[in-house]
A and B are shown apart, each in its own frame.
Chain A
Amino acid sequence: MLRARRKTGLIFFPAYDWEISPTHPERQERLLYTQDQVLEEGVLDIEGIREFKAGLATDKDICRAHFCVPDVDSCITPSHNVSAGGCIEAARLVLDGTVEKAFALVRPPGHHAMRVVQGARGFCNINIEAVMIEWVRRHYPRIRKIAVVDTDCHHGDGTQDVYLNDPNVLYISLHQDGRTLYPGSGFPEEFGGPNAYGMTLNVPLPPRTSDAGMLHVMEHFVLPVIEDFEPDLIVNSAGQDNHYSDPITNMSFTAAGYARLNELLSPHICVLEGGYSIEAALPYVNTGIILALAGVDYSYIREPDLDPGRIREDPRVIEYIERLCEKLLEMWKTRGRAERPSSGLQQRHRNIFYDTDGITESQDEVVRLCTRCPGSFRIDSRATTGYRILGIHIPWGACPQCREQGLAWFEKEEGDRYFAVYLQDMDNDEYCVKVS
């Protein structure tokens, strides 16, 4: 009989009645063949692996992570409540000790959704990992430091944005180089906001990187950094579009490679992100990930059409990745040495494109620099939808000055310039909106 070495919970929510459009990559049958494969392999009968029902994330759960414009209901469909709720259930199972590992095999995905939500980007409306992480911090204060390792082929610019100023959430993304793929970001220079310098780490990989390259990054960069950071919780944003058969990317990863990656990283929670090779990759990658999490032999999991010779990367790709890892590790180790301003306000301006909905947003962000807490910040956001809003964030563990600054920002704005002014007060778990 097969037994799992680690108790593992599976939250499977394929949302068979949700799609962006019938032929869109994010369509109803995306997880159908995965379900067939997992069922046929008898994965759910392995002792120690159990399937659990997803839950529903509430509006409040979503407001902890987002400023939804104009409101939560306008930004999401019920499917998002379930996919974020599935992640929350996964976290609950792990943190209550019901299981050691959990995998939220849910859709729709979330890692391109930023803190301000003016529409859908990269098939994402809300950031399901961020909703989960904020729920965890609210309900399990013992969880202070969280690492998110994003192995989706696309840079997780949404998760990076939500945690840019948060020194307690380490975000590491491995992805196909942004010069060759949506969303066009995720370079080593994106290294975290002023109060969380070095807590955003980006590893852009050359197209056609295969298992060897990806696993090199895991062993020689990700694992040493995680060891330094000592997180209380590790989350893998387990996108599966690095697979050699994925129709919208150019990488050469295999199911066995994904399984090995998860064996090395051993995250507490995996969350499905992208991955659109619904017949040739997802059934095998997901089976591999579940087995690796549970500590069951996955060495016989293999795609029917796998030809290792055909997808092996050029030796120059490996050399490039080796150098990249050395450089990144050096950046990580010396992150505290740079001379940086430690007080005052820091501003940035940027434009964000919502490709799924065809919306453009213009943002002005102001962060209060602070050495005692993650720092309050405000985001002035104007979108082509016509909505202009102001979002104010008072972080977990805010110092009195940052709290005062956040409240002052909120009170000062009467809302005449804005459609609405939003406040996230994390420590008090209060999310207020002033509508003009």
Chain B
Amino acid sequence: MRLGIDVGGTHTDAVCIEEGTVRATAKTLTVSDLVHSIREVILALGVDCTRVERTILSTTLSTNAIIEKTFAPAGMIISAGPGIDPRNYFLTDDFHLVSGAMDHRGREYIPIDPREISSVAEKLKERNVAGVGVVSKFSAKNPAHEQAISSLIKPGFEHVSMGHTLSGNLNFPRRIHTTYFNTAVMPVQNRFLLAVKKAFAGLGIHSRLHILKADGGTCTAASAGEYPVETILSGPAASMMGGLALSTEPDVATLMMDIGGTTTDMGILIGGVPILEPRGVSICGLKTLVRGLKVVSVGAGGDSCVSVVDGKIRVGPHRDGPPACLGGPMPTPMDALAVLGRFPSGNQEKARSAIAPVAAVLGRELEGVAREIVSLMVGNIRANALEFVEEVNRHPVYTIYEMLHPELVEPRQLLVIGGPAAQLKPFLEEAFGMKCTVPDHAMVANALGAALARTTVQITLVADTQLGRMVCPEMGIDEQAPPSLTMRELKKRGVDLLRAHLASQGLEEGLEIRVVEEQSFNIVRGFSTAGRNYRLKLQTDPGILPEWRLPC
């Protein structure tokens, strides 16, 4: 038996899965004490807690800590060398630049200065920072500077995060921000995980705790404690994974939508796998290296404000409370749906009197105006969806083969969850000209997505046989590479590393490991080959547990 819990901004949802089907669902209001919300929703499920084997949690904790800046002060030690001035990326006075530089192949050309680092560490201690993030340029090619700085300062601080352990991708500014957020939210994340475990013990749950990440996969609580930044933005990931679980045709390219009160979140599922943001997700306007689902948020929801501007109806982008038909202050698309007789739970009278002034200003009849409100909202969603798909297809390619054989994403069906999904279904079908499915259990889709998500891990291997170095940054591995190293041997090394990592965490056997990037180049000196440069990325794809069976 496994529990999936999604702590959202308004509601906390839970679902209990047993033998591949839903045993129980529950929904409660989220209160400011998240642990309390989790406890309440588990109690509302009414299941035998002692039989729970795994609990997967998706929360807004790390996201909110960053957005609301409620994290502890963190220090940053950054070595860069020449290049764009790294001070452009400093966020607080506790960011410090130190000497040291690596080039693009991971060759040191300016060493670090231990005395300078000690003096920076002293300054940070005086500022009472608990944790320190360490980032050097090209650490994904050679982590030596980050490792050396980290071991120099480690004794003085509660925790130290190193940039290369968070991602093997190249992007120094993103590495700085990712490492900073990781360092900053670590204390709040660990306090939370501890409190959750205590609450679970109180409920008689002694199972493993897993946390949902931005990429729609899960990790262990231990891993979430060490890499809390990977758990940001898990809300949209939960809803995409929930949609995937509820899809009757997961192999068909699907445009997935979660229509809420204020916004509509959209993502794309291809062959049962959600599309990821290629360089990493953004939070608070800052770009990170955190692997996350590619989602777009449109300011159009069931509660979007309806107004008249220059003689034209405008829907959204803001929300001003619930719809009028549910006691809110402003006319909304839900009121329009109520006027059209498609939202029976709304108060018909209140809906009509909210839309009436809009119709009066325009001098038109009520039903026509209601229809236009709905079609404007759906049209806005469609325009954004088309732009989103186009953007995905505009992705640059770097080989002639890909240029001549483009793999275009063309969604063939809509899968819609969220409050107004069922009411909007016929309108969406008409606007998109595609089949639109609103699955059962859509009300707890997020919890379902969390419950059923598989473990995801991605590792990068970079080998340079001329320098005799093989690096796997995410695993902190920096070892010798023999001159004779082949891509096959490197792949085997990668698969072994990944399997060992999964096993060490006691995670599912039989997770499929996929090569997502594989490149191999000559290193030439004069007119002869002096070595090979290999780049490899392996991952376990986000996906749904294989034993899951769709409710008929």
Interface check A39, CB cutoff 8 A:
yes
Q: Write the A293-312 contact mask toward B (1 if CB under 8 angstroms, else 0).
A: 00011001111110000000
Interface check A1, CB cutoff 8 A:
yes
Q: Name B287's closest neighbour in chain A (CB-CB).
A: A45
Chain B residue numbers with a CB within 8 Å of A32 are 521, 533
Contact for B83 among A33, A36, A41, A56, CB less than 8 A: A41
Q: How near does chain A come to B406, taking the closest CB pair, in angstroms? A: 9
In the bound complex, how far is the Cα of B400 from the Cα of A56, in angstroms?
10
In the bound complex, how far is the Cα of B396 from the Cα of A82, in angstroms?
12
Interface check B394, CB cutoff 8 A:
yes
The answer to whether A40 touches B403 (Cβ under 8 A) is: no
Chain B residue numbers with a CB within 8 Å of A14 are 398
Q: Contact residue range for chain A?
A: 35 or more
Most interface-central of B101, B105, B174, B400 (chain A CB within 10 A): B400
Q: Write the A275-304 contact mask toward B (1 if CB under 8 angstroms, else 0).
A: 000010001000100010000110011111
Q: 22 A-B residue contacts at CB 8 Å? A: A12-B398, A13-B398, A13-B403, A18-B400, A28-B522, A32-B521, A32-B533, A33-B105, A36-B141, A37-B104, A39-B170, A39-B171, A40-B104, A40-B170, A40-B171, A42-B89, A42-B173, A45-B173, A296-B84, A302-B82, A304-B82, A304-B109
The answer to whether A45 touches B174 (Cβ under 8 A) is: yes
Total inter-chain residue pairs, C-beta < 8 Å? 116
Q: How near does chain B come to A397, taking the closest CB pair, in angstroms? A: 35
Binds A, one of B26-34, B447-455, B523-531: B523-531
Q: Name B174's closest neighbour in chain A (CB-CB).
A: A42
Interface check B484, CB cutoff 8 A:
no
Chain B residue numbers with a CB within 8 Å of A42 are 84, 89, 171-174, 287
In the bound complex, how far is the Cα of B86 from the Cα of A2, in angstroms?
10
Q: Name B139's closest neighbour in chain A (CB-CB).
A: A40
Interface check A322, CB cutoff 8 A:
no
Interface check A368, CB cutoff 8 A:
no
User: Contacts A1-B88, A40-B137 given: A300-B533 contact, CB under 8 Å?
Assistant: no
The answer to whether B399 touches A15 (Cβ under 8 A) is: yes
Contact for A78 among B85, B138, B404, B519, CB less than 8 A: B404
The answer to whether B82 touches A45 (Cβ under 8 A) is: no
The answer to whether A23 touches B524 (Cβ under 8 A) is: yes
In the bound complex, how far is the Cα of B109 from the Cα of A15, in angstroms?
30
The answer to whether A52 touches B83 (Cβ under 8 A) is: no
Chain B residue numbers with a CB within 8 Å of A29 are 521-523, 533
Chain A residue numbers with a CB within 8 Å of B191 are none
The answer to whether B396 touches A12 (Cβ under 8 A) is: yes
In the bound complex, how far is the Cα of B523 from the Cα of A41, in angstroms?
22
Q: How near does chain A come to B23, taking the closest CB pair, in angstroms? A: 45
Q: Contact residue range for chain B?
A: 35 or more
Interface check B395, CB cutoff 8 A:
yes
The answer to whether A279 touches B522 (Cβ under 8 A) is: no
Q: How near does chain B come to A59, taking the closest CB pair, in angstroms? A: 15
10 closest Cβ pairs, A-B complex: A42-B173, A29-B521, A302-B82, A304-B109, A39-B170, A40-B170, A36-B104, A17-B399, A53-B396, A78-B400
In the bound complex, how far is the Cα of B171 from the Cα of A44, in angstroms?
10
Q: How near does chain A come to B113, taking the closest CB pair, in angstroms? A: 17
Interface check B361, CB cutoff 8 A:
no
Contact for A300 among B85, B109, B522, B528, CB less than 8 A: B85
The answer to whether B104 touches A279 (Cβ under 8 A) is: yes
Q: How near does chain B come to A76, taking the closest CB pair, in angstroms? A: 12
Interface check B372, CB cutoff 8 A:
no
User: Contacts A18-B400, A27-B524 given: A291-B104 contact, CB under 8 Å?
Assistant: no
Contact for A15 among B287, B400, B523, CB less than 8 A: B400
Interface check A79, CB cutoff 8 A:
yes
Interface check A22, CB cutoff 8 A:
yes
The answer to whether A53 touches B173 (Cβ under 8 A) is: no
Chain B residue numbers with a CB within 8 Å of A44 are 279
In the bound complex, how far is the Cα of B400 from the Cα of A320, in angstroms?
45
Interface check A16, CB cutoff 8 A:
yes
Interface check A429, CB cutoff 8 A:
no
Q: Name A278's closest neighbour in chain B (CB-CB).
A: B524
Interface check A430, CB cutoff 8 A:
no
The answer to whether B84 touches A301 (Cβ under 8 A) is: yes
Interface check B309, CB cutoff 8 A:
no
Chain B residue numbers with a CB within 8 Å of A40 are 104, 137-138, 170-172
The answer to whether B400 touches A17 (Cβ under 8 A) is: yes
In the bound complex, how far is the Cα of B104 from the Cα of A79, in angstroms?
26
Identify which of residues 504-524 in chain B touch chain A, using a CB-to-CB cut-off of 8 Å.
519, 521-524
Contact for A82 among B171, B287, B400, CB less than 8 A: B400
Q: How near does chain B come to A247, taking the closest CB pair, in angstroms? A: 8
Q: Name A302's closest neighbour in chain B (CB-CB).
A: B82
| Beyond known contacts A27-B524, A45-B173: 19 more, CB 8 A cutoff | A2-B84, A23-B522, A28-B522, A29-B521, A33-B104, A36-B104, A36-B141, A39-B171, A40-B170, A41-B84, A42-B89, A42-B171, A42-B174, A52-B394, A54-B403, A77-B400, A82-B400, A300-B82, A305-B109
Interface check B320, CB cutoff 8 A:
no
The answer to whether B529 touches A23 (Cβ under 8 A) is: yes
Q: Name A78's closest neighbour in chain B (CB-CB).
A: B400
Q: Name A304's closest neighbour in chain B (CB-CB).
A: B109
Q: How near does chain B come to A3, taking the closest CB pair, in angstroms? A: 10
Chain A residue numbers with a CB within 8 Å of B169 are 39
Q: How near does chain A come to B303, taking the closest CB pair, in angstroms? A: 32
B contact set with A: CB distance below 8 Å? 81-85, 88-89, 101, 103-105, 109, 137-138, 141, 169-174, 279, 285, 287, 394-401, 403-404, 519, 521-524, 527-529, 533
Interface check A326, CB cutoff 8 A:
no
A contact set with B: CB distance below 8 Å? 1-2, 11-18, 22-23, 27-29, 32-33, 35-37, 39-45, 51-54, 56, 77-79, 82, 279, 283, 287, 291, 296-297, 300-305
User: Contacts A36-B104, A54-B396, A304-B109 given: A82-B521 contact, CB under 8 Å?
Assistant: no
Q: How near does chain B come to A243, taking the closest CB pair, in angstroms? A: 15
Chain B residue numbers with a CB within 8 Å of A41 are 83-84, 172-173
Most interface-central of B83, B169, B279, B404 (chain A CB within 10 A): B83
Chain A residue numbers with a CB within 8 Å of B82 are 300-304
The answer to whether B171 touches A23 (Cβ under 8 A) is: no
User: Contacts A27-B522, A304-B109 given: A16-B399 contact, CB under 8 Å?
Assistant: yes
Chain A residue numbers with a CB within 8 Å of B528 are 23
In the bound complex, how far is the Cα of B141 from the Cα of A18, in angstroms?
25
In the bound complex, how far is the Cα of B138 from the Cα of A18, in angstroms?
27
Chain B residue numbers with a CB within 8 Å of A291 are 84
In the bound complex, how far is the Cα of B519 from the Cα of A42, in angstroms?
21
In the bound complex, how far is the Cα of B527 from the Cα of A17, in angstroms?
19
In the bound complex, how far is the Cα of B103 from the Cα of A33, in angstroms?
10
Chain B residue numbers with a CB within 8 Å of A33 are 104-105
Q: Name B82's closest neighbour in chain A (CB-CB).
A: A302
In the bound complex, how far is the Cα of B401 from the Cα of A2, in angstroms?
35
Q: Name B172's closest neighbour in chain A (CB-CB).
A: A40
Chain B residue numbers with a CB within 8 Å of A77 are 400
Chain A residue numbers with a CB within 8 Å of B400 are 15, 17-18, 77-79, 82
User: Contacts A42-B171, A279-B105, A304-B82 given: A17-B521 contact, CB under 8 Å?
Assistant: no
In the bound complex, how far is the Cα of B394 from the Cα of A11, in angstroms?
12
In the bound complex, how far is the Cα of B101 from the Cα of A303, in angstroms?
11
In the bound complex, how far is the Cα of B399 from the Cα of A13, in angstroms?
7
Chain B residue numbers with a CB within 8 Å of A45 are 171, 173-174, 279, 287
Q: How near does chain B come to A52, taking the closest CB pair, in angstroms? A: 7
Chain B residue numbers with a CB within 8 Å of A303 are 82
Most interface-central of B141, B394, B397 (chain A CB within 10 A): B397
Q: How near does chain B come to A283, taking the closest CB pair, in angstroms? A: 6
Q: Name A283's closest neighbour in chain B (CB-CB).
A: B104
Chain A residue numbers with a CB within 8 Å of B279 are 44-45
The answer to whether A53 touches B88 (Cβ under 8 A) is: no
The answer to whether B396 touches A16 (Cβ under 8 A) is: no
Chain A residue numbers with a CB within 8 Å of B398 are 12-16, 35
Chain A residue numbers with a CB within 8 Å of B401 are 17
The answer to whether B524 touches A53 (Cβ under 8 A) is: no
Most interface-central of A39, A51, A303 (chain B CB within 10 A): A39
